[in-house]
Each structure stands twice: as C-alpha cells, then as structure tokens.
Copies of this chain bind each other. A is one copy, B any other.
Amino acid sequence: MANPSLLILPGDGIGPEVMAQVTRIIDWFGEKRDLAFDVEHDLVGGAAYDKHGTPLHDDTMARALEVDAVLLGAVGGPKYDDLDFSVKPERGLLRLRKEMDLFSNLRPAQCFDALADFSSLKKDIVAGLDIMIVRELTSGVYFGEPRGIFEEGNEHVGINTQRYTESEIERVARSAFELARRRGSKVCSMEKANVMESGILWREVTQRVRDAEYPDIELSHMYADNGAMQLVRAPKQFDVIVTDNLFGDILSDCAAMLTGSLGMLPSASLGAPNADGRPKALYEPVHGSAPDIAGQGKANPIACILSFAMALRYSFDQGDEAARLEKAVEQALADGARTPDLMGPEGGTPITTEEMGDAILKAL
C-alpha cells in the first residue's frame, strides 16, 4: 500500500523555521514507528507571491486537493501590506480553505500545566483549561457576495456580506456535536441573534440538529459579545463552542490568548469525508507568521508540531501515535525546554527553535 501523502506549505515569516522541526518529527515516525509519509513541499502566501505573482499557484491548489493532508505554517507579513487585496498572502490560505471545503475548524484552547503561570489570567481561572472551539471556515462574511469597495454618490462604500445557508450551519453544527460526544457532551453556540437575522437562523438550525440527532448533547446559546466576556471571566464553563467564521476568528484568538500558550496551540480544518472516509484536511498552528522574530531561531515550533499530532489523529486514525507525540512535547516542557516565548518571570536561558525540536525528538 502506498504511504499516506502530506503536502507541506511552510509559508511566510516563522513558518519555514517551525515547519523544519515538524519535518524532523515526521521523519522520526517514518524511521522509528514504521509510519512513513510521502512528503511534498510547496509555497503559499507571500512566498508563493514572490515566486509566482499569486499567493497560491493552481498546481499547488490541485495537489492540496489530492493529498491526504496539508500542513501549513503561516502566511503574511508587512512586506505584503501594500499588495492588492486579490493577491495578499491571506488569499492563498482562504483559497485553500474554500476549495478544499474545510468547513470545520477545530481550535483547542488548552492550558498546559507547565505554563499556567504564563497566562495574563489568574492561575486558578485557567489551570486545566481545555476548550474546543469549532469555527465555521468556508462561509459567512469571509466569502459572501456582494463584496468590494464601490462608488456611491461622491464617496466610496465598503461592502461585505454575511451569509449562511441552513446546510452550511447544519454540517458545522454536526461536527461540533460529534466532537462533544468524545469530550464533555456540552456545546455552546455563539451568534448575535438579537441583532442579526443570520444569527437567528444559526440559532434555530443548531437547536434543530441537536434535538433531532444529538439529544444526548447539552446545547446552550450565547450572544457572541457575552461569549467574549464569559471567556475572560470563567473560561472553564465551556467544553465545545461552535460559532461562525468571523466570530470564530475573534473568539478563538481571545481563547487562545487566555491560555498564555499561544506558541503551543494547533488547529485542524476539516472538510467532508472522502471516499476512503478521510476528511479533506489542513493543519496549521494558531499563531501567525510573527515577522518580527522570523529567521532568528526564536520561534516556538510546538504549535506546528502539535498540528501534525492532530493530523495523525484526525486524518490518519493514529490516535496512539498522536498521544505519543503530545506526551513527548509535555515531557520536553517538563524537562525545562523553553523557547523565548515560554520564558517566565523566573528567568532562565531560552533555547532555539531547533533545540526545541531536539528536546522533543529526545523525549520521543
């Protein structure tokens, strides 16, 4: 049988550095655990623009649709700030999400014991925190039409359209309920049904799917502004949160920052299952391209490495191997391995991106 295939898109900023460590981990699984992957590398974002004049080449898009999973580093940077909207680095990522139809974006906000002191929140508020945010990723105001900047009278007007169909809401709701079954059986859905009709539809459809198909799951509804407050006030009240593309963007970043471990947080973006039962999938760290520290060996590769662990679990049904990798990361941390972003007030000497890779390989 052929090896499963991986397309690696390191992207911009710290993307290539952190991805280099992931590649070492992938090699380790091939050598030591008889779990070899066929790995290809390609460009996305500013890196693709620099070479091809587009943030995602059609050939890369085509390969992304063929492989078993895509691993992405990060896209964007100030160098590309003045590019036209249509060729901004972000468009490459958005095209991948849209054409791979990755409607369900899983963003765990987890507080690592060894790092609970790093949060700007009090330790008792965040210690042991383990939330999963399920963000709709292929619709809403990110993709709705009409959109653009138009002339109207003698001025410009900027327009975007928030737009959700019932079936779009249904499928992401199902994916949240499925996840909740494997966790605490509790889902909180967030929208602004008090001011937006798209939020009313969101609320109705999530409730209907729950009632018809997931009576075992406890579903609650919360306005997104209150959601942001509750995340700050008492995040442990949540198990799974399901929300739309734009609210998910903001709320998941807020939740990620609560943990104090932004450099640690992976994400998975999943589509519908293929013929072989595997969902189309893209894995990427929650952090961005961090251009300010790029190329200096300061980046923390853990979020990207844990994104590969998510790939092992969700794309390759290798839950045990995923757990092995996650344990190794915890072990490395417990042994005191710290990139600069993980340096606490107690001080110490930070290690480099590559040394963090070493520490995790050693723990493996």
Contacts and interface: CB of A to CB of B under 8 A. Distances in A.
B249 A225 contact: yes
Contact of A158 (B76, B121, B164, B251): B164
A165 B229 CA distance: 30
A88 B194 contact: yes
A204 B90 CA distance: 19
Nearest to A205: B156
A144 B160 CA distance: 10
A94 B158 CA distance: 22
B262 A229 contact: yes
B201 A149 contact: yes
A233 interface: yes
Contact of A90 (B88, B155, B195): B195
Contacts of A288: 226
Contacts of A144: 159
Given A121-B122, A197-B148, A250 B225 contact: yes
Interface residues of A, number: 61
Contacts of A199: 158
A310 B201 CA distance: 38
A264 interface: no
A251 B90 CA distance: 23
A168 B85 CA distance: 22
Contacts of A308: none
A179 interface: no
A167 B196 contact: no
Contacts of A152: 165
A162 to B, nearest CB: 4
A192 interface: yes
A166 interface: yes
A230 to B, nearest CB: 8
A30 B147 CA distance: 53
A198 interface: yes
Most buried by B among A88, A192, A194: A194
Given A90-B194, A158-B197, 15 more contacts: A121-B121, A142-B195, A142-B196, A156-B165, A156-B166, A158-B164, A158-B199, A161-B162, A162-B162, A192-B246, A192-B249, A228-B228, A229-B256, A232-B254, A254-B254
Interface of A: 76, 85, 88, 90, 94, 120-122, 125, 141-142, 144, 147-149, 152, 155-167, 192, 194-202, 224-226, 228-229, 231-234, 246-247, 249-254, 256-258, 262, 288
27 contacts: A76-B194, A85-B200, A90-B195, A120-B121, A120-B125, A141-B141, A141-B196, A147-B197, A157-B166, A157-B201, A158-B163, A158-B197, A158-B201, A159-B162, A160-B162, A160-B198, A192-B246, A224-B250, A225-B249, A228-B228, A228-B250, A229-B253, A229-B254, A229-B256, A232-B232, A246-B246, A254-B254
